[in-house]
Amino acid sequence: MAFGGGCELALACDMIIASDRATFGGPEIKVGLLPGFLIIRLHQVVGMARAKEMIMTGDPISAQEALRIGLINKVVPHEQLMDNCMELAGKLMSVAPLALRVYKASVNRFLGGEEYKHSLDVMLYLMATEDQKEGVSAFLEKRKPVFRGR
């Protein structure tokens, strides 16, 4: 399961090879929070409509669905995951490191800036709300939260 921070960490990677057992999602909205990095980056990867659906519902998606929408690069049988990752790592180790570094810097140059500040501001705001406290309490108590918009 790559939920919340796990999905954010995966999205920060250059490439994602997933087990056929993997699931991805950002369930934070269900407890009154938002997945910080996902609200910045997910729509750039999977498109606005799909990102809104994933974040606004908090529902997880399968590895096959993640592949279909472009969130991940490849789905492999669970037992072959490490072998596939090592094979990809070997390919990356065989290319020119300076060219690889410059390419990564080029495609990632738009990351950062105002969207990160906004994400941080939003997270700090939500962490101080009654709804967030209720959402986390309900989660820990295994009950449905009662949100009041405060």
Quote the CA–CA distance of 40 and 114 in Å, as a whole number. Answer: 10
Q: What is the dihedral of CA 145, 62, 2, 144, to 10 degrees?
A: 10
> Is 141 noted as a catalytic residue in this protein?
no
The predicted model gives 4-32 an average pLDDT of: 94
Domain extent listing, the chain: 2-140
Between 84 and 128, the more confident residue is: 84
CATH architecture of 2-140: Alpha-Beta Complex (3.90)
Q: What phi and psi values does residue 25 have, to the nearest 5 degrees?
A: 175, 170
The predicted model gives 16-31 an average pLDDT of: 95
pLDDT at 70: 96
**Using an 8 Å Cβ cutoff, are 150 and 130 in contact?**
yes
pLDDT at 90: 97
pLDDT at 112: 66
For residue 135, give both structure tokens.
Answer: 């959402």
Of the residues 28, 53, 79, 115, only one is catalytic, namely: 28
> Is 28 noted as a catalytic residue in this protein?
yes
